[in-house]
Amino acid sequence: MPTCRRRPVIGSPSAPRAASVAIRRPISAALPRRARRVAETHSVAEIVAMIQARHPPAWDLLNGRLIGYDETLRRATMEWLAETRHCHSVPGHPRGGIVQGGIVTGWLDAAMATACHFLSDPGTSVASLEIKVAFLLAAHPGTYRSYGKVVRIGRTIAFLEAELRDADDRLIATASSTAAVRAAK
């Protein structure tokens, strides 16, 4: 009759030890080589200006612009102006309507992708694989800021987060996303 051998419990004296220890590298070392060169030769303000100059046409449709990037937090800040054309439920609404959820999702998605561009090679494309949005308060016509952050970025996949705040700094919506990162050829 065959006998079963039990596996040792992790942490017990008979358990095998890990062959290697993870070494932490500084954030700059994790950047792709070309992205490091851009970061070393251009200031954040110059990179913001470059991205703003060649921004996607969707930013015009969504009425937004990139206003900054915080290197410490690895967070992009974008500003959006919601108009009645972005709203549903407009006729007779006391606050001018409610911004359609797809518009809010677009604002959050743009901030997350832009944050990813700061940690990628120039010309890299960022495509959302999945997005989860939590709508906490209704958005109405007015000015909003979205803050996109890179949680973790690898060679081909990035994990991103964002939040949307109104002019009074109230949290309107949050998002998390998994995105495909493809280097320019």
Question: Could you read off the pLDDT of 95-118 as tens digits, one per residue?
Answer: 788 999 999 999 999 999 999 988
Give me the mean pLDDT over the 176-184 stretch.
92
Question: Chain-wide mean pLDDT for the chain?
Answer: 82
Q: In the chain, where are the structural domains located? A: 27-182
What pLDDT does residue 41 have? 67
pLDDT one-digit tens code per residue, 122-162? 678 899 999 999 999 999 999 999 999 999 998 899 999 99
Those residues with Cβ within 8 angstroms of residue 49's Cβ, 6 or more apart along the chain or in another chain: none
Which secondary structure element, helix H or strand E, spans residue 179, and what is its range? strand 171-182
**Its pTM surpasses 0.85:** no
For the chain, the straight-line distance linking the first and the last C-alpha, in angstroms and rounded, comes to 60
User: Looking at residue 28, what is its pLDDT?
Assistant: 47
- Supply the pLDDT for residue 31: 54
Domain 27-182, CATH among 3.20.10.10, 3.10.129.10, 1.10.8.100, 1.10.3720.10: 3.10.129.10
